[in-house]
A and B are shown apart, each in its own frame.
Chain A
Amino acid sequence: MKKTFDLIYGFITQTQLYKSVFRHGYPSTDANRALIMFSNVILHLHPVRIRRGALKIKFTWCLGGLTFFFFILLAVTGVFLMFYYVPDTRRAYQNIKDLGTVIYFGTLFRSLHRWAAHAMVLSVWLHMTRVFMTGSYKPPREFNWVVGVILLVCTLLLSWTGYLLPWDQLALWAVTVGSKMAEASPLLGNAGPFGAEIGMTVENDVAFALLGGTMVGQSTLLRFYVLHCLALPLVATLFMAVHFWRIRKDGFSGPL
């Protein structure tokens, strides 16, 4: 039994087809374990070796990696949700109801998306706390911390723009509360300090730019949809690339 398996396996791994995809053997030998870090695009984020102390789960609790994992999960479930969702105020709510009633596993995809969103906000917060408590922001890693704060803001904005999309009462009024605060910005908002003096009205202040109008309506829904599905993920990806790059360049701050 094992002999035939080895025979088949040996044959397949020698074909041109196999060797063109997998350029070396399975990482069961140290040489292959080193090679795979260079040949695999996902794994090439890692170094070949790390200090033994950096493996301690109690140091990082895998929080940074989990945040990235949740981001990927949200992107994937989000794409599937996009097959059935139209950002039109007359249709959005019905689309979400369809997901819950007539689409197989629609509820599962939507609930997974929502829970992963909560989990990502929580884990990004805990990750920031961990990085602070271990002093891993100190020089030479200051810039990476700043990039991390930018990613925190991106995460919160992603969560907030996504909140509007179901177009139910919770969504509409939660976003209205937020945009009312934007209206109260100093200088930039029509209802904030010194705003009216500069000529900010309800038709040209920062809240107008955010909402695409004077109230949360169709323009807001479309704007938030584009921000949530395209613009913010692109920005977040860009900053994540910088973030991971910096970690590899500066190395783990972990115990020696």
Chain B
Amino acid sequence: MESVETSVKTKDALASRIKKAATQNLGPEDTVLVWPNLVYIELVSMVFSLAILLFLAIVSPAPLEEMASADTTPNPTKAPWYFLGLQELLVFFDPWLAGVVLPSLIIVGLVVIPYIDTSPTGKGTYNFSDRKFAVFSFSFGLALWYLLIVIGVWFRGLDWSWYWPWDNPYLHRSATAVTLVDLEVLLQSALHLPETPLLTMGRYEPTAANLLTWGIFLAYYVVGLTIPFLFLRHFYRRFGFIRYNIMMFLFLSMMGVPLKIFLRLMANIKYILVTPWFKI
């Protein structure tokens, strides 16, 4: 049989424990039973989405084209819609870039997000004002991805030419005779650089213009990495050396995609950088 003092002590201890739990919102007062609250929400969402899928399945059945034949390629040949973004990139980048390197960078970029953005702000809530850079870069990437898919689905027709939605999809467009130049050719004629190769490394014999394009390509990354370091030092400090470099490399690469598309469309530049083994 407890004495009065110890029973008061245990009561106080209990009261303080409850108060602590309550401030951490871990107490049972703030929780509800999963059955029926959560389970019913799950059931309704499953039934609702199944109903929508059934409606779609009946109204728009799965298509089946003619049997596969290796000698006729349909025109246009489109990948599934979730890969059309990549297929659209093939217009502006070589296959190894558009099909392998860029998707790998996307996957790697997604994977490292939580190891770069470790600040606890905005955890568990929809927050924009405290996470401006993170939300901006992610949304930019998403928007770019969706835009490429939309173009691939609705704006590309025969021969992968540009077709507005109101254009006749069965009429071939005349092959627009736009001559595309490489950046080094542009620089060579603009700056009157000599055409003789400056170095010889087996198959690779770069001219002055070619080396200049190397410089431009590397400068894009170097300048891009240095500017926030110099002018937004708190931004750099938030991440530390390794995280900052990884993140800025990925960010600059992501920004490079619309930049190159822009250069292609506006200045008819085909390749920024040319070597016998790869062209960017």
Contacts and interface: CB of A to CB of B under 8 A. Distances in A.
A203 interface: no
Contacts of A18: none
Contacts of B25: 51, 256
A50 B100 contact: no
Given A149-B107, A181-B98, A168 B64 contact: yes
A150 to B, nearest CB: 8
A159 B39 contact: no
A22 B273 CA distance: 70
A182 B100 contact: yes
Interface residues of B, number: 78
Given A47-B34, A146-B111, A169-B74, A189 B50 contact: no
Residue picked from B35, B38, B56, B115, most chain A C-beta under 10 Å: B35
A27 B40 CA distance: 12
A189 B278 CA distance: 13
Given A33-B33, A181-B86, A169 B68 contact: yes
B53 A112 contact: yes
Interface of A: 27, 30, 33-34, 36-37, 43, 46-52, 54-55, 57, 62, 65-66, 69-70, 73, 89, 93, 96-97, 100, 107-108, 110-116, 118-119, 121, 128-129, 132-139, 141-142, 145-146, 149, 152-153, 156, 159-160, 163, 166-174, 176-178, 180-186, 189, 191-194, 197, 215-216, 252-256
Given A160-B83, A254-B124, 9 more contacts: A46-B39, A62-B42, A69-B49, A108-B57, A115-B53, A138-B114, A168-B67, A181-B90, A252-B124
Interface of B: 25, 28, 30-39, 41-42, 45-46, 49-50, 53-54, 56-58, 60-70, 72-74, 77-83, 86-87, 90, 94-96, 98-101, 107, 110-111, 113-115, 117-127, 131, 134-135, 138, 142, 277-278
Closest 6 CB pairs of A and B: A181-B99, A184-B95, A142-B114, A111-B57, A193-B278, A172-B68
